[in-house]
Amino acid sequence: MKKLVTLLMFTFLSASVYASGVDDIAKSYLNAFKAKDFKKATGLLHCPENYTMEKLKFDQTAIQKVLSIFDSELGGLHKFSVSSDNKYTAAMTACGTIDYWKKNQPSQKIIFETINSNNEQGFIALSFSKIGENYVLAFVYHGVPGVGVESVAKIKSIYQKMSAMQI
């Protein structure tokens, strides 16, 4: 999927103060992901206002597949809590184009430490942009603690699965 932004992140710096509404969006996303309601979780990601219905449907379908890959490869979300740790390796997804997000760069981030259904530690980071008067969910990162080659290999395998699905 050429229009879907994907990126491998090694370090993501956290912000300690969150804008109004950001916490509610974050909790809604995490609860939808935990319930494996990937359609609802995808719907919380902001897409460009000028998207055609065709582009919107394409990106949202692809994002739902990506979230399913995150869930199957990293383990379903069991527990989450805000974290100050910023050392993790993660795969990322978003709705929109690189040019769109260059113009609307994120300004708020929240990192969550997770315990997955396989009892392994993970991370979910959510990045927010201010569009007009409101903060919107721009990017979601799902990953593992950033220690060693195993972490990088795990995320590379996720990107390989995404590539194999042609998204």
Task: Supply the DSSP symbol for 4.
Answer: S
Q: Which domains does the chain have, with CATH numbers?
A: 8-164 (3.10.450.50)
Q: Are 155 and 143 in contact (CB under 8 A)?
A: yes
Q: Are 123 and 143 in contact (CB under 8 A)?
A: yes
**Smallest Cα–Cα separation from 109: which of 90, 127, 93, 124?**
127
pLDDT at 147: 72
By DSSP bridging, strand 134-145 and strand 87-94 are: antiparallel
Indicate the SS3 state at residue 98. helix
Q: Are 93 and 6 in contact (CB under 8 A)?
A: yes
Indicate the SS3 state at residue 130. strand
State the pTM of this model.
0.86
Rounded Cα gap, residues 160 and 158, in angstroms: 5
Taking the alpha carbons at both ends of the chain, their separation in whole angstroms is 4
**Smallest Cα–Cα separation from 123: which of 67, 72, 82, 63?**
82
Identity (one letter) of the amino acid at 89? T
Q: Give whole-number Cα distances, 113 to 100, 132, 148, 163, in Å.
A: 29, 30, 18, 27
Sequential pLDDT tens for the chain (167 residues): 444 444 433 333 333 445 668 999 999 999 999 999 999 999 999 999 999 999 999 999 999 999 999 999 999 999 999 998 888 999 999 999 999 999 999 999 999 999 999 999 999 999 999 999 999 999 999 999 987 899 999 999 999 999 998 76
Rounded Cα gap, residues 68 and 66, in angstroms: 5
pLDDT at 19: 61
